[in-house]
A and B are shown apart, each in its own frame.
Chain A
């Protein structure tokens, strides 16, 4: 190695790690809002969408003087952010206008599978710089995905709002499979979303019954999950509730979910 390049390497190592390059970041996408609110210092967030003020979506406290935008270009123009994050869909017109006006607009792809999720985390890393929680999350996920899938499978079935279940081709299915569960909906030929009645849940007898978020409030959509016929499942702890964030921003929770599902499978297999 040349002397000059050694010096350069030493200088680079001696420098403090590059943290966030951008000082004021705005978001035009609900998931990216949540990423900023959870992983970026509050003083660096210029604006998030109005949806993030909704209790249903908020997973981190909202800074007091933050601007809640409704996806309009003029709102963000006034705030003069250094970086504007936009999703793959929604607010595209505003993003284009802002880009034309010379603002730094970065599009982050949506994620509907584990592969897309890794891409998404990579794109966020490129845009936001070396952000410790983000990198940590990415590493955790990569590490978990590198682990071999358990051979001895337990069965699982997702029972979401309005009796909806998740079949093959969806992130939720991939998570179940990676954690060592056979998704009964996919085995019955459900692709993407399908419906499952309580009768089918009882007849299929999955080892684990998986609910989907929003369980704490009563809702007619969740009547099935509250039906006394599922009491046995709930009493014996053979249920798991996917966090609501998995539905609109999986990047935040996917590593935790995978870990918890793997643990759940271990408990079930050991009990048998």
Chain B
């Protein structure tokens, strides 16, 4: 069983570069991949420009965002010990979405430096990250000192509902129909037209999130024995839950900020890989990151190759790919009691 699980993880790890190559080879224009790679990223040749400036950053962003969502989902399920937990539960996504909505409406009227920052396009993701942190901070403050997992979930649901209401209010006052369309697209998630700038913006936050979650890995392991046992093992106080929440806000907030809200990855991926790491919440973080990256990259390959009037939204594709796996998992769990 153990070797089987290990080989499954190795298979994931091997599949990732293969999927990356497939992503680099997919697109509306057929390019000579080998020649484009040989030309180097400074080349002005159109094949090389397409590869290095368009396909590579998009594929890497899919990996980064998928990893952040998978890791965030694993951490959330570990901390709350709830199989239905996902990063959006604590308001990370809705906080980022609300900040983006406010920006999309009122951003153009900002004066001076802020106006310039808005024009340059980095203010939206930056404020979405801030929005994610604010939402998590609100959940934390609402849950109060020494909150249990269930109280955190309740606080998360409450803050989420409030943020959704604020979003609906903002949508009601939409000054133009285009703002409305923008928000709908943003809420569905997309990797289209993203470049190195978005990748570089998200990368440090995702890395910081990963480091914070790495520091909290033993806390998550201890928590699997129950809150009282974790406290008896020395993981008491507010430090560790804060560490996990900050890690999730940083990684998932950055991912949502550049790619919009992509659902399903954070919820399903940890369930898919949990049997492979023998239910270890520490290892699950990295296995989920790997599987999340692979799932999103595969989803993006489908998006790129999908022919339609509109580009298919990646959030829908992740559900299309992930849901059958989930069905299979539930059916097999009914037999083997894995879940």
Asked if B49 and A229 sit within 8 Å, CB to CB, the answer is yes
Asked if A229 and B54 sit within 8 Å, CB to CB, the answer is yes
Asked if A229 and B118 sit within 8 Å, CB to CB, the answer is no
Q: What A residues does B311 contact at CB under 8 A? A: 163, 195
Q: What A residues does B195 contact at CB under 8 A? A: 227-229
Q: Is A226 an interface residue (CB 8 A)?
A: yes
Q: What A residues does B104 contact at CB under 8 A? A: 219-220
Q: Is B326 an interface residue (CB 8 A)?
A: no
Q: Given A198-B193, A228-B197, are A56 and B176 also a contact pair (CB < 8 Å)?
A: yes
> Which of B178-186, B205-213, B283-291, B293-301 is near enough to bind chain A?
B178-186
Asked if A163 and B309 sit within 8 Å, CB to CB, the answer is no
Asked if B192 and A202 sit within 8 Å, CB to CB, the answer is no
Describe B's contact surface by its main secondary structure: helix
Q: Is A79 an interface residue (CB 8 A)?
A: no
Q: How many residues of B contact A (CB 8 A)?
A: 38
With the chains together, A228 CA to B198 CA distance in Å? 11
Q: Is A54 an interface residue (CB 8 A)?
A: yes
Q: What B residues does A224 contact at CB under 8 A? A: 192-193
Report A221 CB to chain B, min CB distance, Å. 6
Q: Is A260 an interface residue (CB 8 A)?
A: no
Q: What A residues does B120 contact at CB under 8 A? A: 218
Asked if A219 and B182 sit within 8 Å, CB to CB, the answer is yes
Q: What A residues does B49 contact at CB under 8 A? A: 202, 229
With the chains together, A234 CA to B55 CA distance in Å? 21
Q: Is B2 an interface residue (CB 8 A)?
A: no
Q: Which one, B118, B185, B197, contacts A220 given CB within 8 A?
A: B185
Q: Is A200 an interface residue (CB 8 A)?
A: yes
With the chains together, A232 CA to B46 CA distance in Å? 12
Interface string of A215-241 (1 = CB under 8 A from B): 011111101101111001000000000
Interface string of B40-61 (1 = CB under 8 A from A): 0000101101100111000000
Asked if A197 and B28 sit within 8 Å, CB to CB, the answer is yes
With the chains together, A220 CA to B186 CA distance in Å? 8
Report B12 CB to chain A, min CB distance, Å. 28
Q: What A residues does B55 contact at CB under 8 A? A: 199
Q: Is B226 an interface residue (CB 8 A)?
A: no
With the chains together, A220 CA to B178 CA distance in Å? 10
Asked if A202 and B54 sit within 8 Å, CB to CB, the answer is yes
With the chains together, A199 CA to B30 CA distance in Å? 9
* A135-170 interface with B by 8 A CB criterion: 161-163
Asked if B185 and A221 sit within 8 Å, CB to CB, the answer is yes
Q: Residue on B with the closest CB to A57?
A: B176
Q: Which one, B46, B186, B193, contacts A205 given CB within 8 A?
A: B46
Q: What B residues does A226 contact at CB under 8 A? A: 121
Q: Is B325 an interface residue (CB 8 A)?
A: no
Q: What A residues does B107 contact at CB under 8 A? A: 217-218
Q: What B residues does A162 contact at CB under 8 A? A: 185, 310
Report A233 CB to chain B, min CB distance, Å. 12
Q: What A residues does B118 contact at CB under 8 A? A: 218
* A31-87 interface with B by 8 A CB criterion: 54, 56
With the chains together, A198 CA to B311 CA distance in Å? 13
The residue in A203, A205, A226 that gathers the most chain B C-beta atoms within 10 A of its C-beta is A203
With the chains together, A232 CA to B53 CA distance in Å? 12
With the chains together, A219 CA to B124 CA distance in Å? 10
Q: Which one, A54, A56, A229, contacts B53 given CB within 8 A?
A: A229
Report B333 CB to chain A, min CB distance, Å. 39
Asked if A217 and B46 sit within 8 Å, CB to CB, the answer is no
Q: What B residues does A229 contact at CB under 8 A? A: 49, 53-54, 195
* A172-227 interface with B by 8 A CB criterion: 195, 197-200, 202-203, 205, 214, 216-221, 223-224, 226-227
With the chains together, A29 CA to B211 CA distance in Å? 58
Q: Given A54-B175, A218-B124, are A203 and B309 also a contact pair (CB < 8 Å)?
A: no
Q: Can you add 8 more A-B contacts, CB < 8 Å, to A195-B310, A229-B49?
A: A56-B176, A161-B178, A163-B193, A199-B29, A200-B28, A202-B49, A214-B178, A229-B195
Give me the 5 closest cross-chain CB pairs, A-B, nearest first.
A223-B193, A229-B53, A203-B29, A217-B108, A224-B193
Could you list 21 A-B pairs, sorted by A, with CB under 8 Å? A56-B176, A163-B193, A197-B28, A202-B54, A203-B29, A203-B47, A216-B108, A218-B107, A218-B108, A218-B118, A218-B120, A219-B182, A220-B104, A221-B185, A223-B192, A224-B192, A224-B193, A226-B121, A227-B193, A227-B195, A229-B54
